[in-house]
Structure 1
Amino acid sequence: MTLQTEQIGSVPRPAELVGAAADFGAGKISADQLAEVADRALRDTVTRLEATGSPVISDGEQTKSSFATYPLEGSEQLVPEGAVIPFADGHTRQLPSLAKGPFRYTRFADAYLRAAQQYANVPVKQAVIAPSAISLLYPADGLEGYSREEFLDDLVDQAEKDVRGCLDAGAHVVQLDFTEGRLSVKLDPSGGLLRSFVDLNNRVLERFSDEERARIGLHTCPGGDQDSTHSLDVDYADLLPDLFRIKAGRVYIQLASESDPERVLRIAAEHLGADQQLFVGVIDPIDPVVETPEQVRDRVLLAARHISPDRLGTCDDCGFSPFADDASTSRDLAFAKIAARVEGTALAADQLGV
């Protein structure tokens, strides 16, 4: 056995791909031309991730416009006036809003997975959006002839299909992105919204066997976009007890950017389920300084004081570029940080004798 280490998801897209996506949106190039550029970016991403020594890679979300709304690309069911998410630096991101039912995904994540598997020589994991995030698309005023209960039933079916398609395609792990978990506590300090999110995600996960759930993970962070966050000021103590009730076999938590990581580890150790493995963030994607392998090693050793090494893994705090237009972190910096995580995790494993 050795300590497992996994990337969370996105890495910054090459400038060529960002430019091509803009040109396609402006009608300057064809879909086939965009696809050629995207394929080059994907192959380069897989090659560079494998060069870091990563035992498990992702597609870097190179062809997702957003980690959150990829299932809705091209949908005719949406209008742009949805929930607004404010970030600490003052910028915002806005979700679309559902205009009519029945709700259906237009794209499923197994397509990204299969594309990456064509070029990968190591196992590939796949990130999918948690159904709780998509639930925010239903308008507060409701929809005539299509109730929220009907919407949630359809959403659970679509989310199950998204996850199952990736498992069936051979994903090493399918990771539910649950960044709205911490944000929900900020929006509703009573915890009611968070608990509703937990229950909704469990409606999907309960459709999978214990063996399948061992390959399904859940990622939480305070958001990461343009070097800013949306909920870092929310106390983990108000999130983690409920978060660990979600029936995922792997839990990935942002930790490197926490002011008191040992306190968070104590909370996590208390609530971690008997059948769950914890992956702790040892890389801060927002910090422009590349962590040294020794810094990563020490962060892992701290975690191992609270979590048994046979149930411990490492990850990045969050994706490096969850939205396609986020150029705040360079591509080279992201790969350097990933390499530091891999090397530092190996140093910790040697010291722990695992």
Structure 2
Amino acid sequence: MTLPTEPIGSIPRPSNLQTALAEHAEGRLAEAELRTLQERATADTLTRLEQLGCPVLVDGEQAKPSFATYPLTGLTTLDPNGAVIPFADGHTRQLPCLTSGPFRYQVRAETYVRDALRHTDRPVKQAVIAPSALSLLYPGEPIEGYSREEFLRDLADEAETDIRGCLEAGAHSVQLDFTEGRMSLKLDPSGGVLDDFIALNNEVLGRFSDQERARIGVHTCPGGDHDSTHSLDVDYAELLPRLFQLKAGNFYLQLASEPDPERVLEIIAGQLRPDIRVFVGVTDPISATTETPEEVRDRVLLAARYIPVDQLGTCDDCGFSPFADDTSTSRDLAFAKIEARVLGTALASTALGL
């Protein structure tokens, strides 16, 4: 027996897929040709993860434009000039904003689950965007004939359907990406925005049974894009107590890149409840250095001093390429870090007598 270990989600796309994405965006590549390359990249990702001995696989988000915007693909009621997310190195990402309702997902994550399961019989995890992130699509000025309250009701229904569809399609687990949680404390240090995010996510999570929530988790990190973050400077201590109010069975927490991980572990220990598992990040996707299995082992053993082993697991801090155009981390480096996580978790399990 070893401690459970899972990837977070995205893995850098192969170079031929990166080229194809650019050509498709310029109108020089047909949709069918792009889909063929995405399917090949998905199959290759799953195969390589199997070869590394990963007990739980992901499709690497090879067919997603980004971890956040996949439900919007093809939606015509959008203005590109929405919320701007600034990163520490000076670059930004910008979300679109909604121009009219009703809001409906155009792509559901269950399609990625079904596509992945055609290529493997191993457990497959699926990441979905948290409804709190998509709540940022509603503009500051009310949309005529479509209030914010109506939008949030529609959004909660769509998010529930997205999660439920993944579970019913056979996903081993479903992970809500909640990177906006820590960022919200930069926008509103009082925590009011974060409280609204937690309430919306809990509105959705509360619709699932205890058995279903045991397969549902929440991931948080300070963002990761072009080797930069958007909220690493925000004190984790301000987020964690509210984060653990979420009605999820699993929590995937960035930890390897924290300047003081032991302080964070002390906070986590104070928030534990019996019905959850905490997956701690043991590899840093932003770092260009590959962790050794021994380094990973030692990070796990430190975490085991604060988290009971029957509630402990490991993960990567973040996805390696949450936006499809991010080439700052190579595909081979991502797989090397994943291998270190798998091997290091096994070493820690042995050291813990599991």
Q: Shared fold by TM > 0.5?
A: yes
> Residues 124-168 of structure 1, C-alpha deviation per residue, up to 9 Å, x if partnerless?
000000000000000011111111000000000000000000000
- Superposition deviation, residue 274 in structure 1: 2.3
What's the counterpart of residue 212 of structure 1? 212
Q: Does residue 1:132 correspond to 2:157, yes or no?
A: no
Q: Distance in 2 between matches of 1:53 and 1:308?
A: 24
Match of 2:235 in 1: 235
Equivalent residues of 2:2, 2:345 under 8 A apart: no
1:103 has 2:103 as partner:
yes
Report 1:75-86 matches (<5 A): 75-86=75-86
**C-alpha separation between the residues in 1 aligned to 2:136 and 2:37?**
32
The one-character-per-residue Cα deviations of 1:97-148 (angstroms, maximum 9, x if unpaired) are: 0000011000000101111111123100000000000000000111111110
Query: SS of 2:28's equivalent?
Result: coil
For the residues of structure 2 that align with 1:235 and 1:265, how far apart are their CA atoms? 13
Alignment correspondent of 2:329: 329
Partner of 2:43: 43
Q: How does 1:91-170 map to 2 (within 5 A)?
A: 91-170=91-170
Q: Is the 8 A contact 2:98 2:137 kept in 1?
A: yes
| 2:25 equivalent in structure 1 | 25
| AA at the equivalent of 1:188 | D
Provide the rounded CA distance (Å) in 1 between the counterparts of 2:130 and 2:283.
23
Q: Which moved more, 1:23-32 or 1:126-135?
A: 23-32
- Alignment RMSD (CA, Å): 0.7
Deviating more after overlay: 116-125 vs 161-170? 116-125
**Paired residue secondary structure (1:266):** helix
Identity of aligned residues (%): 68
Please name the residue that 1:295 is paired with.
Answer: 295
CA distance in 2, matches of 1:227, 1:213: 32
2:90 partner SS: coil
Unaligned runs of 5+ in 1: none
Contact 2:7 / 2:315 at 8 angstroms: preserved in 1?
A: yes
Between the aligned partners of 1:103 and 1:35, the Cα distance in structure 2 is 26
**229-238 or 22-31, larger mean C-alpha shift:** 22-31
Q: Quote how far apart the aligned CAs of 1:34 are.
A: 0.9
1:37 deviation in Å?
Answer: 1.0
Q: What do the CA deviations read for 1:75-107 (whole angstroms, capped 9, x no partner)?
A: 011110100000000000000000000110000
Name 2:248's counterpart in structure 1: 248
Describe the SS at the equivalent of 1:122: coil
Write the letter of the residue equivalent to 1:172: H
Per mean C-alpha deviation after superposition, the further-off stretch among 159-168 and 40-49 is: 40-49
- d(CA) in 2 for partners of 1:84, 1:286: 21
TM-score (norm 1): 0.99
Q: Which amino acid is 2:43 matched to?
A: R
Mean CA deviation greater in 20-29 or 300-309: 20-29
The whole-number CA distance in structure 2 between the counterparts of 1:169 and 1:273 is 29
- Runs of 4+, deviation exceeding 4 Å: none
SS of aligned partner of 2:41: helix
1:192-230 per-residue CA deviation (whole Å, 9 max, x = no partner) reads: 100110000000001000000000000000000000000
Summarize the alignment of residues 167-206 of structure 1 with structure 2, pairs less than 5 Å apart: 167-206=167-206
How far apart, in 1, do the equivalents of 2:169 and 2:7 lie? 19
Task: Structure 2: state its 5+ residue gaps.
Answer: none
Normalising by structure 2, we get a TM-score of 0.99
**TM-fit CA distance, 1:305:** 0.1
What secondary structure does 1:239 align onto? helix
CA drift of 1:40 comes to 1.2
Q: Deviations over 1:288-345 (max 9, x none)?
A: 0000000000000000000000000000000000000000000000000000000000
Name the CA distance, whole Å, in 2 between partners of 1:273 and 1:24. 48
